[in-house]
Amino acid sequence: MLRIINFHVPFDDESPLMDLAAKRLQLPPQAVLEVVIVRKAVDARRYKNAPICFVYIVDVKVSAPEKKVLARLRGDKNVETAKHPAGESVEYGSQMLDCRPLVIGFGPAGMFAALTLARHGYRPLVLERGRDVDSRSRDIQHFWQSGELNESSNVQFGEGGAGTFSDGKLTTRINDRKMMDVLKMFVDAGAPEEILYLQKPHIGTDLLKTIVKNIRQEIIALGGTVKFESLVTDLGIEAEQLKYVIVNHEEKIFCNAALMGIGHSARDTYTMLHDKQVAMEAKAFAIGVRIEHPQTTIDQAQYGNDSKSPRLAAAEYAVTFQDKQTGRGAYSFCMCPGGQVVAATSEENQVVTNGMSNYQRASGIANSALLVTVTPDDFGTHVLDGITFQRKYEKLAFLCAGSDYKAPVQTVGDFLKGTKGSMDFLTRPTYRPGIKPVDLRECLPGFVTDTLQNALPYFGSKIKGFDDPGAVMTGIETRSSAPCRIIRNRDNFVSINTGGLYPMGEGAGYAGGIMSAAIDGMNAAFAFMRIYKA
């Protein structure tokens, strides 16, 4: 096939893509037999009054000899022969397994590690501390409505992990050939095929709840087992080698190896690992607030007069700020177009927020975290000091908002003026079980609020309306990434001092988001397979 790159098409051009490709290749329409979209992005920069464009990479099958087409277009660097790299070969080890491989945690890392193992005949046993996604969804809705928290089944814990109740973004900064493999696995499980080519693919919570269930069912059909409400409470380590795990303080399960994808909020598991002297270290993370705007504000800022076109998806943004005096940065994170702010705590008497969107992104409200990085210099170098730091401010958020899981909120106008109490919101806050206007400085470190104070006007200069006095900020967001890292060897993914333990994903400190966690889980599975035979 021929590949066309940098293929700009005005967003309002509704011509069939096959006809547009034929014109681009200077061929009659009937000479184009097939067009496959490899990548689709939106260019809304509108420089030199150019229209908003969809920018494609497409592979085109033509009836004419490809060499003749290329010869006629000689010198056109945007048309070439399509290259499709060969898939990676799988290496299998020779060491015999006495027990089935364990996978601890069924978030993205655990799911894709287990699915990879199952597809290669290893029949994994998965242990997930939370509940299945249907039960979990009911528990979460009950908490949002009543304020009664289930510490084992919530936005952080349960089938699918924290990513299930998010925007379902499938973007990552890492460069790994398995990215397409992960996307295809999602499509196999029921995700829209467009995620294979969109520049910024997402699935949404409503679809993810079915997709994670389908992944589980495939693992079981291939001989795997998935056990819910199965918290690993202890490890049996002999001569620096993992021998067994204890589940729910009583059941002993022997193993040769355990692939551990515990998630970034498994604080009790971090404590247990530290007590067992598994090598760990403190790491930086970030905390801040969620900010909400009318989606129309973001659409107008990104798309201008074309913002109401149904051909353009709900707009996204990414903003960063560097305080020249302090050197601290603030940035947007996990921006959710057409979404809502959700209660995401996993521990009693604490308030934590996150953002969530469904597939259609149709709520009419945009939200994003605004975060400031914190480092061990801010909270201490002991492995668990970051957790202590998080808990301190989550508890303050709980107390200052009324001690009933309502969230503290403040308008941007009040925040910038140093006042509080305004309820003249630009949009109705979406957080449930409810909100209470406060001064967010009561539940965030001073260096965080000082940085946000300087960042908001700057963000407003980049996105008109961003610092509107009525925009509402909801506190607090503390779970953007893990507060510590379980140290592993680079070459084989095994803990540096505990043989047979494969730390992986966000909870191990090696990923940040669904895609990178899923890829990390797959890589851990392949590392395991290089040692053991099925």
Instruction: Give tens-digit pLDDT for 347-362.
Output: 999 999 999 999 999 9
Domain boundary among the residues 21, 51, 81 is at 81
* Cβ 164 vs Cβ 133: under 8 Å: yes
Q: Residue 168 sits in a domain of what CATH number?
A: 3.50.50.60
Residue 87 reports pLDDT greater than 80: no
Mean pLDDT of the chain: 96
| Residue from 201, 100, 117, 204 nearest 160 by CA | 204
Of 477, 493, 512, the domain-final residue: 477
Task: Answer yes or no: is 490 within a domain.
Answer: yes
Considering the domain boundaries, does residue 88 fall inside one? no
Q: Is there a single domain that holds both residue 186 and residue 289?
A: no
Q: In terms of domains, do 431 and 377 share one?
A: yes
| 260 within a domain of the structure (yes/no) | yes
Predicted confidence (pLDDT) per residue in 189-224, tens digit:
999 999 999 999 999 999 999 999 999 999 999 999
With respect to residue 331, please indicate whether it lies within any of the assigned structural domains: yes
pLDDT in tens, 360-371: 999 999 999 999
Structural domain includes residue 91: no
CATH value at residue 40: 3.30.70.2700
Residue 75 has pLDDT above 90, yes or no: no
Q: Could you tell me if 263 and 323 lie in one domain?
A: no
User: Structurally, how many domains does the chain consist of?
Assistant: 3
What is the pLDDT, as a whole number, of residue 285?
96
**Residues 227, 157 share a domain:** yes
Using an 8 Å Cβ cutoff, are 354 and 477 in contact?
A: yes
Instruction: Please indicate, yes or no, if residue 97 is contained in any of the structural domains.
Output: no
Predicted local confidence at residue 48, as pLDDT: 66
**Mean pLDDT computed over 471-483:** 97
pTM of the predicted structure, to 2 decimals:
0.94
Residues facing 226 on adjacent strands:
126
Residues 503 and 468 in one domain: no
**Eight-class DSSP state of 408:** E
* Residues 257, 291 within the same domain: no
The answer to whether residue 421 is domain-embedded is: yes
Residue 75 sits in which domain range? 2-81
Q: Do both 116 and 19 map to the same domain? A: no
Same domain, 189 and 55: no
Alpha helices in 276-351 (DSSP H): 295-303
Q: What is the DSSP secondary structure assignment for residue 91, as one 8-state letter?
A: P
Average pLDDT over residues 74-81: 91
Residues 277 and 296 in one domain: no
- Can you tell me the distance from the alpha carbon of 95 to that of 83, in angstroms, rounded to the nearest whole number? 37
Q: Which of these three, 48, 81, 114, is where a domain ends?
A: 81
pLDDT band at 89 (very low <50, low <70, confident <90, very high): confident
Amino acid identity of residue 302, one-letter, is: Q
Residue-wise pLDDT for 216-264, tens only, equals 999 999 999 999 999 999 999 999 999 999 999 999 999 999 999 999 9
Tell me the DSSP string of 330-391.
Answer: EEEEEEETTEEEEE---STT---EEEEE-TT--SSEEEEEEEEEE-HHHH-SSTTHHHHHHH
Domain contains 198: yes
Q: 411 and 271 share a domain?
A: no
Same domain, 16 and 158: no
Burial class of residue 58, CB neighbours in 10 A (0-12, 13-18, 19+)? buried
279 pLDDT band, cuts 50/70/90, is: very high
Q: Are residues 144 and 241 in the same domain?
A: yes
CB 241 within 8 A of CB 235: no
Tens of pLDDT, residues 147-179: 999 999 999 999 999 999 998 999 887 778 899
